[in-house]
């Protein structure tokens, strides 16, 4: 499976820590995953799990304390040349959670969307720039007469479209979308998700989708990694993860998602994960590929047990 696809971004033994010496806090550790070209890869976890920190490290906003981030075959964390950095800043774009906090309130939509084009000189003439901005505006479903308005004149959903337009006009290879729909209403969420999908179909953009809402993630992702307390606990293709979750934390997370059906919801029990259930004192855990493409963080004893169960179910 993996050999067939081109790896766009690769994280190896990534560690991100804040502070030093006695105050050192390791926010993220032993993170290993690849993102393939053209896919939507989701990083799912609760608040404080480190999912946003990883996203920020990929964008170069947080520095890493160990391991490598490789983009298109070249390392992009640690010391890199200004030229390379400039190039990557165009190729990797970000969409933020709160569209009102991430847009300059004193700039017009025209300027907000054009800013990247100015910074990189990505247009031949003023005419060309206007054409590009108008085309993008249309793509995200806004009207040309809205070009000279300010962000506060728009609704939350429209502001998020401006954020998407600003990122995608740069023709990025990778877009890190950090909870891009969490702040939006249900009906608006669908519009924004469909828009993100459309760009992927038409331009082959790769998404790293950072989220906590598993029901939305299931709809949009090709593969999902579950993160808790700075570690990836499980990684698999979307349907595989939903159908055959192996790590108890993934099970707990799935069981907690509210089901929009009264009969099912009222009989359902959510399952609580106890992180002390593992015995990692001597038998140390690793990130193991338990089935092709399905990885779990476990020690040898757990690995043997999971494998036995999978075998009994006829899955391996």
Partner 1 sequence: MSEERKKILEVDDLSVHFHVRGQVLKAIHHVSMDLYEGEVLAIVGESGSGKSVLTKTFTGMLEENGEIAGGTIVYNGKHLEELKKDKQWEGIRGNEIATIFQDPMTSLDPIRTIGSQIAEVIVKHQHKSKAEAKKLAIDLMNRTGIPNAADRYNEYPFEYSGGMRQRIVIAVALACRPNILICDEPTTALDVTIQAQILDLIKDLQKEYGFTVIFITHDLGVVASIADRIAVMYSGRIIEYGTCDEIFYDPKHPYTWSLLSSLPQLAQRGGQLYSIPGTPPSLYKDIVGDAFAPRDPWAMKVDFKAEPPFFKVTDTHYAKTWLLDPRAPKTEKPELIQNLHERMSEVMSASHLENLDLGGKDSDGE
Residues forming the site for partner 1 (CB under 8 A):
46-47, 155-158, 185-191, 193-194, 197, 212-216, 218-219, 238-239, 242-245, 248, 251-266, 268-273, 309, 312-313, 315
**Closest distance of CB 189 from partner 1, Å:** 7
Helix, strand, coil in percent for the chain, rounding step 5: 40, 25, 35
CB of 219 vs partner 1, minimal distance in Å: 5
Smaller CB separation from partner 1, 276 or 313: 313
Residues 92 and 116 sit within 8 Å (Cβ to Cβ): no
Q: Which two tokens stand for residue 12?
A: 């190896």
* Cβ proximity to partner 1, 76 vs 236, nearer residue: 236
β-strands 286-291, 294-298: how paired? antiparallel
Closer to partner 1 by Cβ: residue 166 or 223 = 223
Shorter beta-carbon distance to partner 1: residue 41 or 71:
41
Give the nearest distance from C-beta 138 to partner 1 in angstroms. Answer: 16
**226: exposed, middle or buried (C-beta count within 10 Å: 0-12, 13-18, 19+)?**
buried
Instruction: Supply the minimum distance, in Å, between the C-beta of residue 285 and partner 1.
Output: 17
Q: How far apart are CA 305 and CA 58, in angstroms?
A: 35
Cα-Cα-Cα-Cα dihedral sign, residues 76, 197, 98, 143: positive
Q: Which is nearer to partner 1, 123 or 242 (CB)?
A: 242
- Determine contact, residues 80/161, Cβ cutoff 8 Å: no
The CB-of-254 to partner 1 minimum distance in angstroms stands at: 6
């Amino acid at each position: 499976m993996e050999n067939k696809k081109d790896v766009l971004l690769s994280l190896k033994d990534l560690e991100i820590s804040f502070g030093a010496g006695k105050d050192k806090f390791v926010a993220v550790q032993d993170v290993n995953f690849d993102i393939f070209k053209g896919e939507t890869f989701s990083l799912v976890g609760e608040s404080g799990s480190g999912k946003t920190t990883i996203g920020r490290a990929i964008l170069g906003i947080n520095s890493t304390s160990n391991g490598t981030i490789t983009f298109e075959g070249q390392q992009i964390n640690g010391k890199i040349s200004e030229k390379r950095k400039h190039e990557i800043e165009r190729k990797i774009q970000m969409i933020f959670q709160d569209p009102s906090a991430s847009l300059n309130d004193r700039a017009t939509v025209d300027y907000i969307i054009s800013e990247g084009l100015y910074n990189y000189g990505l247009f031949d003439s003023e005419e060309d720039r206007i054409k590009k901005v108008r085309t993008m505006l249309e793509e995200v479903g806004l009207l040309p007469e809205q070009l000279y308005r300010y962000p506060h004149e728009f609704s939350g959903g429209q502001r998020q479209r401006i954020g998407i337009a600003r990122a995608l006009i740069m023709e990025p290879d990778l877009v890190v979308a950090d909870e891009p729909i969490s702040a939006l209403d249900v009906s608006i969420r669908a519009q924004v998700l469909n828009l993100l999908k459309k760009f992927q179909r038409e331009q082959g953009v790769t998404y790293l989708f950072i989220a906590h809402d598993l029901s939305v993630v299931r709809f949009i992702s090709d593969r999902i990694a579950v993160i808790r307390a700075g570690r990836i606990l499980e990684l698999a293709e979307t349907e595989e993860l939903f159908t055959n979750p192996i790590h108890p934390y993934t099970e707990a997370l799935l069981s907690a998602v509210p089901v929009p059906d009264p009969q099912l919801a009222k009989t359902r029990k959510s399952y609580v994960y106890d992180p002390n259930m593992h015995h990692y004192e001597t038998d140390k855990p690793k990130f193991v590929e338990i089935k092709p493409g399905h990885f779990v963080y476990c020690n040898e004893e757990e690995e043997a047990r999971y494998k036995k169960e999978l075998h009994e179910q006829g899955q391996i």
